[in-house]
Amino acid sequence: MAKLYFYYSSMNAGKTTVLLQSAHNYRERGMHPLLFTPAVADRCREGVIRSRIGLEADALVFDSDADLLERVQRELDQGKIHCVLVDEAQFLTRSQVFQLSEVVDRLEIPVLCFGLRTDFQGELFEGSRYLLAWSDQLEEIKTICHTGRKATMVVRVDGDGYALKEGSQVEIGGNERYVPVSRKAFKDVFLGGKQISRIDSLEQAPGEPFHDVPSAPGHQENSTNQES
């Protein structure tokens, strides 16, 4: 049976890389993945999902008003779809998470969502909140904090490495703005006011070689839209 998956992590854990590898795995087997990326995630050119290590693939762009069930159905009318993959899934709305659950339950197509769990203030994103509540399966993609502990949170920093405590929840940026941290380090930096060293954007993010790549994206589920 098709399932709704949520793969979550802090920054720099390789979520997008895993998504793109998953899409490649499906295509390599003659199957057809459908990729989505939110319009707000504009770190690359529109309609392209790109990882920090240079992998990329075309994707459909959606905004907060888009009906993802209707869009999947429209694509399905043109040909077979074997899975749906959503990048930056924290930016989904509550309604869109429900629509994706309908893709699973009504169309019997597996949906794999990849995103952050919490924002720079330690609060859940709307999309992440409902994915945590409604997904059939949750998987954490791991990375590490500068302290050596597992990074589970993220802080937004200024040019001097001090945490910013106020601002819009959505502000696109990379290593120059966000640092993955453990819960303890989050308390020290965000609540305690300690300075943190930013990651050089030209260097590989610490911890990326050590994250656990989940096996689930490489699998193929049985569904009415899959070839046997």
Please report which confidence band the pLDDT of residue 42 belongs to, taking 50, 70 and 90 as the band edges. low
Dihedral sign, Cα of residue 115, residue 121, residue 126, residue 131 = positive
Instruction: Establish if 51 belongs to a structural domain.
Output: yes
Q: Identify the pLDDT of residue 217.
A: 42
Does any domain span residue 161?
Answer: no
Q: Is the residue at 160 inside a domain?
A: no
Q: Does a structural domain hold residue 206?
A: no
Has residue 176 been placed in a domain? Answer: no
Active site residue 88: yes
Look at residue 147 and tell me if it is in a domain.
no
Q: pLDDT tens-digit profile of 192-228? A: 989 886 555 433 333 333 233 333 444 444 433 433 2
pTM of this structure: 0.80
CA 47, CA 202: separation in Å to the nearest integer? 24
Residue 203 corresponds to which tokens in the numbers above? Answer: 């260097």
Give the CATH number for residue 13.
3.40.50.300
Number of domains in the chain: 1
pLDDT exceeds 60 at position 10: yes
Residue 88 belongs to domain spanning: 4-141+212-218
pLDDT value of position 161 = 84
79: DSSP letter: S
Q: Are strands 83-86 and 137-140 parallel, antiparallel or unpaired?
A: unpaired
List the catalytic residue out of 56, 75, 88, 140.
Answer: 88
Place of tokens 């597996």: 110
Position 103 in a domain: yes
Start-end of H helices in the chain: 15-28, 68-76, 94-105, 126-134, 183-186
